[in-house]
């Protein structure tokens, strides 16, 4: 979808012109092409290929699910069970957004609101789950909110570099280190999925450090030292802006 509509309906600010998208020839072409997903054989793909495809499908499915709403919501949260009920038939099996994120890309982890793995034992989709969780996927997946990462196209060949770039870009906007007041500020993604990044505040900061700019890295070193030796550093989280990622919506400055 993104190759078809990125310049046409997706703005520089990550916003999507859903009204224009719904009436575009590119979107109609995309909808027709999604029917062929039923014939795709995931068994013939490498894990890198599957990971890239499922990232792209997650983002495309999110946009598709929103564009198909009779009335465009002000927030994706206004759509009841959006992530559970929005899905594609891929290779003869139905994958919802939750199935793709929790079951495939997170290696069959539990949903944030559950304690059970997304796929139960014996589920035919389970064999396509990634063997090792790559936390960088959190900065590639677009859930339909203003605070979501930017939309990119991923391939098996560019996957590692593209995920690195997506992570750096997201952290540049969402991670701050304030040595003057001993505070760390970051996206709530690092709170919600903290186990994916190691489990505790030290793990998260150490994980994110390679993706920070040099001056922020230097501040992170100071704050990590204080956390480990003094313990007087506040970890705070930016408010997640759940407004719909439509064109013209300005991110909140808090």
pLDDT at 87: 97
Whole-model pTM over 0.75: yes
* Segment 107-137, tens digit of pLDDT: 999 998 889 999 999 999 999 999 999 999 9
Nearest residue to 201 via CA among 187, 210, 192, 191: 191
Nearest residue to 242 via CA among 172, 187, 176, 164: 187
The answer for residues whose C-beta is within 8 angstroms of residue 219's C-beta and 6 or more apart is 177, 178, 179
Cα angle: 235, vertex 200, 239; to 5 degrees: 40
When pLDDT is cut at 50, 70 and 90, the band that residue 247 belongs to is: confident
* Segment 170-200, tens digit of pLDDT: 999 999 999 999 999 999 999 999 999 999 9
pLDDT at 231: 79
């Amino acid at each position: 979808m993104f190759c078809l509509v990125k310049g046409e309906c997706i703005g520089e600010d990550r916003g999507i012109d859903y009204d224009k998208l719904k009436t575009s020839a590119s979107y109609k072409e995309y909808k027709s092409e999604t029917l062929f997903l039923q014939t795709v054989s995931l068994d013939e793909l490498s894990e890198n290929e599957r990971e890239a495809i499922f990232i792209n499908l997650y983002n495309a499915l999110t946009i598709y699910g929103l564009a198909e709403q009779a009335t465009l919501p002000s927030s994706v949260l206004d759509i009841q069970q959006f992530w559970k009920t929005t899905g594609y038939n891929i290779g003869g099996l139905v994958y919802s957004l939750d199935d793709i994120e929790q079951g495939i890309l997170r290696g069959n982890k539990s949903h944030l609101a559950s304690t059970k793995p997304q796929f139960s034992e014996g589920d035919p989709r389970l064999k396509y789950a990634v063997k090792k969780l790559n936390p960088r996927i959190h900065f590639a997946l677009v859930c339909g909110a203003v605070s979501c990462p930017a939309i990119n196209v991923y391939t098996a060949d560019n996957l590692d570099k593209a995920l690195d770039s997506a992570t750096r870009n997201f952290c540049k906007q969402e991670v701050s280190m304030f040595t003057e007041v001993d505070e760390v500020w970051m996206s709530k993604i690092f709170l919600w999925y903290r186990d994916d990044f190691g489990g505790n505040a030290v793990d998260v900061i150490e994980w994110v450090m390679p993706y920070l700019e040099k001056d922020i890295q230097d501040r992170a070193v100071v704050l990590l030292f204080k956390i480990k030796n003094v313990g007087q550093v506040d970890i705070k989280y930016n408010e997640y802006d759940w407004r719909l990622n439509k064109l013209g919506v300005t991110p909140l400055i808090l």
